[in-house]
Amino acid sequence: MAANLFYEPSTRTNLSFQTAMYRLGGSVIGFSDPGSSSVAKGESLKDTIAMMSNYADAIVIRNPMEGSAKAASLYSRVPVINAGDGGHLHPTQTLADLTTIRKHTGAIKGLNIGLCGDLMNGRTVHSLIKALTGFPDIRFYFISPRELKIPDYIRLYLEKNNQKYIEITSLEATIDNLDVLYMTRIQRERFGTESEYNNHKHAYILTKSKLSGARSSLLIMHPLPRVDEISVDVDDDPRALYFAQARYGMFMRMALMKTILKNPPREPERVDIGGAECKNPRCICKTEKYLPSLVYENNGARFCEFCDKLICV
């Protein structure tokens, strides 16, 4: 039995986890509208998780605050799966993405991978970059508006791992070099104002004509939902894999659930050093005040364990 706790809208991820569980012969409880649960009465994340982990064998959580899944894991008796924590990470989408690349290239190595769109707020991109950095000879092309470049903690991660990357603003100038093009949506819900969003909303639109010089083996991917960043005339191109990608995601989630339910949950590590305050207003520690201040060090700098933002140098 899984508990799917979706505090943010979702179609694919929630239904994909549900389908995976039902296909394995299991069942699912939970909510997709926190307004219909005790969250609306002001229940803390800690209490909701403590309760749900009495009922279910695993918890799948999506929440708009960065670090929320990590926070939930501190209070859960059962494994917690991050189904998207704000603009931070989305690791199970990455497993779907890796499955897609692996299946269509044979091996994940020596690839030119272009990630295009809102690289600042797109959580799928952050998780995918971290995972791909572990594979040999990957070259990243980060294609985004200047204001929506990859966040600093991802930059530091790449540098620490000697991972090569190029940052550019033009999709057209890059597309012909790519083995994989991973398009993403401008993340409307992460902008402070509608006008900031409007400045970027049509930043990149992949059309059939832009693909004229692209490799015949190009993989065109997108975590979905798309708004207008891939025009519908691309859908019939044999290189367009985004709907297949969602299907691989379901099989991968079946495998993930089976693996997790077979292995007993591990006690989470806690390093409560106190006195180090995370300044990120989108961090879960800002709304769930009882959380310990968990910090890790990297190259002499300290980062928040929940949201990965720099705390101090």
Task: Give the residues lining the site for ligand NCD (CB under 6 A).
Answer: 12-13, 84, 90, 93, 123-124, 184-185, 223-225
User: To the nearest whole angstrom, how small is the minimum distance from the Cβ of residue 34 to ligand NCD?
Assistant: 16
250 vs 310, which CB is nearer to ligand NCD? 250
4 vs 53, which CB is nearer to ligand NCD? 4
114 vs 295, which CB is nearer to ligand NCD? 114
User: To the nearest whole angstrom, how small is the minimum distance from the Cβ of residue 156 to ligand NCD?
Assistant: 22
Helix, strand, coil percent values for the chain (each to nearest 5): 35, 20, 45
Alpha carbons 138 and 18: distance in angstroms, whole number: 33
User: To the nearest whole angstrom, how small is the minimum distance from the Cβ of residue 84 to ligand NCD?
Assistant: 5
125 vs 311, which CB is nearer to ligand NCD? 125
- Whole-Å CA distances, 51 to 28, 31, 57, 105, 216: 15, 14, 12, 44, 52
User: To the nearest whole angstrom, how small is the minimum distance from the Cβ of residue 205 to ligand NCD?
Assistant: 15
Two tokens, residue 269: 């590590």
Two tokens, residue 219: 């993989």
58 vs 294, which CB is nearer to ligand NCD? 58
Give exposure, 224-252, as e/b (b: 16+ Cβ within 10 Å).
Answer: bebeebbeeebeeeebbbbeebbebbbbb
Alpha carbons 35 and 164: distance in angstroms, whole number: 44
Two tokens, residue 248: 């691989």
User: To the nearest whole angstrom, how small is the minimum distance from the Cβ of residue 13 to ligand NCD?
Assistant: 4
User: To the nearest whole angstrom, how small is the minimum distance from the Cβ of residue 252 to ligand NCD?
Assistant: 12
- Run of H or E residues at 219: strand 219-221
76 vs 127, which CB is nearer to ligand NCD? 127
User: To the nearest whole angstrom, how small is the minimum distance from the Cβ of residue 225 to ligand NCD?
Assistant: 6
User: To the nearest whole angstrom, how small is the minimum distance from the Cβ of residue 137 to ligand NCD?
Assistant: 27
Radius of gyration of the chain (CA): 20
Degrees to nearest 5, angle at CA 60 with 148 and 257: 115
Give exposure, 155-169, as e/b (b: 16+ Cβ within 10 Å).
Answer: ebbbeeeebebeeee
225 vs 268, which CB is nearer to ligand NCD? 225
74 vs 229, which CB is nearer to ligand NCD? 229
In the numeric block, the tokens 């077979």 are attached to 262
